[in-house]
């Protein structure tokens, strides 16, 4: 049961990291030579872990974008990514909600307050 809570919460945190990446990128879209960040997710035994990493660009690409406002920033991709993160957050919240309901039912059964 506790695994379901941890998995759901880790999914919510990963979605939050994905939204943060989009927000950081959008906030810097007019910064010359800006290299966008992305949320990188890694599976763990208790769910998922996410971290922010700069997108990998070749030195040639970085040099070419040095004077370009927004650099390699792609607003449309960030908005889509943020919408996907919203859906992932809602799904993970549902996992936590369902785990909580299951725990409530188990507690009712074990205390004898719920009958078949």
pLDDT digits (tens, 9 = 90+) for 37-81: 999 999 998 899 999 999 887 888 877 777 776 666 688 889 999
Contact call for residues 25 and 78 (beta carbons, < 8 A): yes
Sign of CA dihedral 10, 14, 17, 19: negative
Where are the chain's structural domains? 2-111
The DSSP symbol for 32 reads B
State the average pLDDT over residues 3-20.
Answer: 95
What is the pLDDT at residue 31?
83
What is the pLDDT at residue 71?
61
């Amino acid at each position: 049961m506790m695994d379901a809570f941890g998995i759901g919460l880790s999914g919510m945190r990963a979605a939050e990291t994905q939204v943060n990446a989009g927000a950081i990128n959008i906030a810097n879209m007019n910064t010359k030579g800006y290299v966008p960040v992305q949320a990188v997710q890694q599976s763990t035994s208790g769910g998922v872990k996410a971290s922010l990493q700069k997108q990998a660009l070749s030195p040639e690409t970085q040099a070419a974008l040095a004077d370009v406002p927004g650099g390699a920033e792609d607003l449309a991709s960030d908005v889509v990514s943020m919408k996907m993160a919203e859906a992932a957050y809602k799904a993970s919240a549902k996992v936590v909600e369902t785990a909580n309901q299951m725990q409530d039912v188990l507690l009712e059964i074990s205390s004898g307050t719920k009958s078949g």
